[in-house]
């Protein structure tokens, strides 16, 4: 069993909980997720099964889309509503000021990861230090906010639509918008709506997978890639399985989905100097 499940992670579960449940349902140990969602967050969490775990890095590195709510006037130690309140401020922010602040975070920006995160510093996760009351200096990271749009405002509560690069903390984005406005803010709700080709509209809950069976919802491994297909002869299949490049009139620099003589998906290969060079193997 090799492929992907577009799981809708519900609130209250960790990403690891989802992996454990899929392992139990499938009976397969080789299961992984493609980017952590906090327990209080919900939405798209692609799950890799079997050989599909070899493609997890490609999904982790993809852009993500979120719908989030944040509340102006409150700051917390976790940067979301579940944390300990550190401060409250009166909010005197107009819609125009809010829009200007939001627009300031569009494009390439630097973001300081929150203390309540799974990032490791000298072998220890930041959240473990934070729970002991220890705060350490964190290096800023360059991220990209491809899209950020105010969808709604209800008093001090604001809803955003965000598309961003990997490594972006939406909690921190909300916190930083509040900081720029001078009143502070914390995230109150988060839904991931898309990761790569996995959209929330086509996601399924774990209970649905359990009742229907995994096979009904399993996306084939090769469907992840939108490349032309190449079917090899038996002789070229053997060479590919032995790690060799094989002759093929390929477009220079173009990626291909490569299949063996038996129709089995083998790898992603790139056309280089009249040959196919494997760049991601699934055998």
86 and 111 both lie in a single domain = yes
Count of domains forming the chain? 3
69 and 161 both lie in a single domain = yes
Residue range 54-70: mean pLDDT, rounded: 92
> Which range of residues forms the domain containing residue 103?
64-193
Rounded to an integer, what distance in angstroms lies between the CA atom of residue 237 and that of residue 212? 36
182 and 245 both lie in a single domain = no
**Interval 2-30: pLDDT, tens:** 999 999 999 999 999 999 999 999 999 99
Reported as a pLDDT band with limits 50, 70 and 90, residue 122 is: confident
Helix intervals (H) in 54-159: 56-60, 95-103, 126-131
So what's the pLDDT on residue 71?
98
- What's the half-sphere exposure (Cβ side, CA atoms, 13 Å) at 57? 2
Reply yes or no on whether the pLDDT at 118 is more than 80: no
70 and 167 both lie in a single domain = yes
75 and 165 both lie in a single domain = yes
16 and 112 both lie in a single domain = no
CATH label of the domain that carries residue 246: 2.30.130.10
Rounded to an integer, what distance in angstroms lies between the CA atom of residue 74 and that of residue 158? 13
Residue 78 CA to chain centroid, in angstroms?
Answer: 20
Helix intervals (H) in 150-246: 170-181, 206-212, 214-217, 234-241
So what's the pLDDT on residue 132?
82
Catalytic residue among 38, 77, 176, 255: 38
So what's the pLDDT on residue 135?
82
Residue range 116-145: mean pLDDT, rounded: 84
208 and 239 both lie in a single domain = no
| 236 or 138, higher pLDDT | 236
**What is the phi/psi pair of residue 150, to 5°?**
-75, 120
151 and 255 both lie in a single domain = no
**Interval 139-197: pLDDT, tens:** 899 999 999 999 999 999 999 999 999 999 999 999 999 999 999 999 999 999 999 99
- pLDDT mean across residues, the chain: 94
Reply yes or no on whether the pLDDT at 38 is more than 80: yes
Which percentage of the chain shows pLDDT scores above 70? 100
Enter the pTM of the model: 0.89
84 and 181 both lie in a single domain = yes
CB 251 within 8 A of CB 283: no
Residue range 261-277: mean pLDDT, rounded: 95
Q: Has 222 been annotated as catalytic?
A: no
189 and 112 both lie in a single domain = yes
CATH label of the domain that carries residue 23: 3.30.2350.10
CB 40 within 8 A of CB 171: no
Rounded to an integer, what distance in angstroms lies between the CA atom of residue 280 and that of residue 148? 33
Beta bridge partners of 39: none
| Token duo for residue 135 | 């705060």
- Domain endpoint, select from 149, 176, 193: 193
Rounded to an integer, what distance in angstroms lies between the CA atom of residue 124 and that of residue 154? 40
So what's the pLDDT on residue 106?
97
19 and 96 both lie in a single domain = no
202 and 171 both lie in a single domain = no
Reported as a pLDDT band with limits 50, 70 and 90, residue 216 is: very high
């Amino acid at each position: 069993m090799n492929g992907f499940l577009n799981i809708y992670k519900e609130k209250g579960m960790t990403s690891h909980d989802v992996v454990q449940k899929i392992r139990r349902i499938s009976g397969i140990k080789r299961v992984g997720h493609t980017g952590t969602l906090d327990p209080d967050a919900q939405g798209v969490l692609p799950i890799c099964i079997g050989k599909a775990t070899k493609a997890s890095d490609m999904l982790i590195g993809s852009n993500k889309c979120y719908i989030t709510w944040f509340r102006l006037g409150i700051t917390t130690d976790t940067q979301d509503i579940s944390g300990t309140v550190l401060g409250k401020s009166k909010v005197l922010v107009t819609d125009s000021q809010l829009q200007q602040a939001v627009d300031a975070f569009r494009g390439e920006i630097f973001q300081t990861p929150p203390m309540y995160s799974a990032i490791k510093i000298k072998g220890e996760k930041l959240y473990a230090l934070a729970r002991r009351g220890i705060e350490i200096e964190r290096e800023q990271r360059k991220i990209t906010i491809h899209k950020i749009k105010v969808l709604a405002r209800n008093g001090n509560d604001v809803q955003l639509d965000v598309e961003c690069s990997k490594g972006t903390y939406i909690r921190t984005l909300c916190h930083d918008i509040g900081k720029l406005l001078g009143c502070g803010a914390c995230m109150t709700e988060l839904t991931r709506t898309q990761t790569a080709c996995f959209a929330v509209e086509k996601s399924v809950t774990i209970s649905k997978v359990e009742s229907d069976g995994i096979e009904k919802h399993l996306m084939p491994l090769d469907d992840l890639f939108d490349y032309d297909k190449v079917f090899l002869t038996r002789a070229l299949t053997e060479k590919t399985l032995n790690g060799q490049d094989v002759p093929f009139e390929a477009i220079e620099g173009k990626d291909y989905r490569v299949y063996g003589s038996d129709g089995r998906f083998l790898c992603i290969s790139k056309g280089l100097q009249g040959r196919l060079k494997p760049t991601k193997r699934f055998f």
